[in-house]
């Protein structure tokens, strides 16, 4: 009988552990009113964004998110861009965090070996400033467009006429201009000879990550693996 009660107690203890609510912890602070929270065990789970001044509380990932561990500087407010541990893509917002959508790397030859993106271990830093994202890797600088769409390729726009060196001519119009602003990351090498190259939102881009001064947020994401245990 005593063994029966011991086994029952062990089962109840196990059930209690299994029913325990996953911990929630702040993993990044942009400033005193904007932050990211991760809910889950072992620093993996759902990711939420909060802007207490604007009354915004939205979910970016429902599960399996793991933090980006490299340098992360993000003073930008309207355009928000978040990547994860493997830097395989981005989740971005263009309305202060109210809604979110996916952004990707362009399919062109961004890397010296012809790949479209750098491997995870090559990531150095991710900076989002002035509504534009900059991912610095060992060999290349990836960036999103400047924060607007070329008005010539918007509905009712005049379009962009082009003529190639071989004499081929064409027009880039609404629907054939590629990605909207902020939704693709590419290098200057990948930009060459693309339809984006002719658009004003992809011109006069910097050769290095812009300097950020006076930033009061965190410069890395943080997560405690022992939270809730």
Q: What is the pLDDT, as a whole number, of residue 162? A: 87
Residue 219 lies in a domain: no
Q: Low-confidence residues of the chain, pLDDT below 50?
A: 1, 8, 11-12, 17
Strand 34-39 to 24-29 pairing = antiparallel
Residue 175 lies in a domain: yes
Residue 228 lies in a domain: no
Residue 207 lies in a domain: no
> Has this prediction a pTM greater than 0.85?
yes
Q: Which residue has the tokens 């789970």?
A: 45
Split into its structural domains, the chain has a count of: 1
pLDDT tens, 1-57? 455 555 545 544 555 545 689 999 999 999 999 999 999 999 999 999 999 999 999
Residue 177 lies in a domain: yes
Q: Name the nearest CA neighbour of 82 among 120, 117, 23, 128.
A: 128
* Structural domain for 88, as ranges: 21-202
3 state SS of 11: helix
Q: What is the pLDDT, as a whole number, of residue 4? A: 52
Q: How far is CA 86 from CA 43, 79, 127, 211, in A?
A: 14, 21, 16, 25
Residue 225 lies in a domain: no
User: Tokens in use for 97?
Assistant: 């965090």
Residue 49 lies in a domain: yes
Residue 178 lies in a domain: yes
């Amino acid at each position: 009988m005593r063994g029966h009660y011991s086994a029952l107690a062990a089962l109840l203890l196990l059930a209690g552990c299994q029913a325990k609510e996953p911990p929630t912890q702040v993993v990044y602070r942009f400033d005193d009113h904007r932050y990211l929270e991760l809910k889950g065990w072992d620093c993996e789970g759902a990711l939420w964004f909060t802007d207490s001044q604007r009354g915004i509380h939205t979910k970016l990932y429902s599960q399996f998110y793991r933090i980006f561990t490299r340098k992360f500087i993000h003073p930008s407010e309207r355009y928000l861009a978040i990547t994860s541990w493997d830097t395989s893509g981005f989740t971005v917002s263009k309305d202060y965090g109210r809604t979110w959508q996916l952004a990707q790397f362009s399919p062109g030859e961004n890397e010296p070996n012809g790949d479209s993106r750098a491997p995870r271990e090559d990531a150095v830093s991710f900076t989002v400033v002035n509504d534009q994202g900059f991912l610095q890797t060992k060999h290349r600088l990836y960036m999103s467009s400047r924060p607007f769409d070329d008005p010539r390729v918007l509905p009712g726009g005049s379009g962009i006429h082009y003529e190639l060196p071989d004499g081929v001519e064409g027009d880039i119009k609404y629907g054939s201009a590629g990605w909207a602003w902020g939704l693709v990351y590419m290098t200057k090498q990948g930009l060459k000879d693309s339809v984006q190259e002719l658009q004003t939102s992809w011109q006069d881009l910097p050769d290095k990550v812009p300097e950020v001064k006076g930033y009061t947020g965190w410069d890395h994401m943080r997560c405690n693996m022992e939270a809730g245990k």
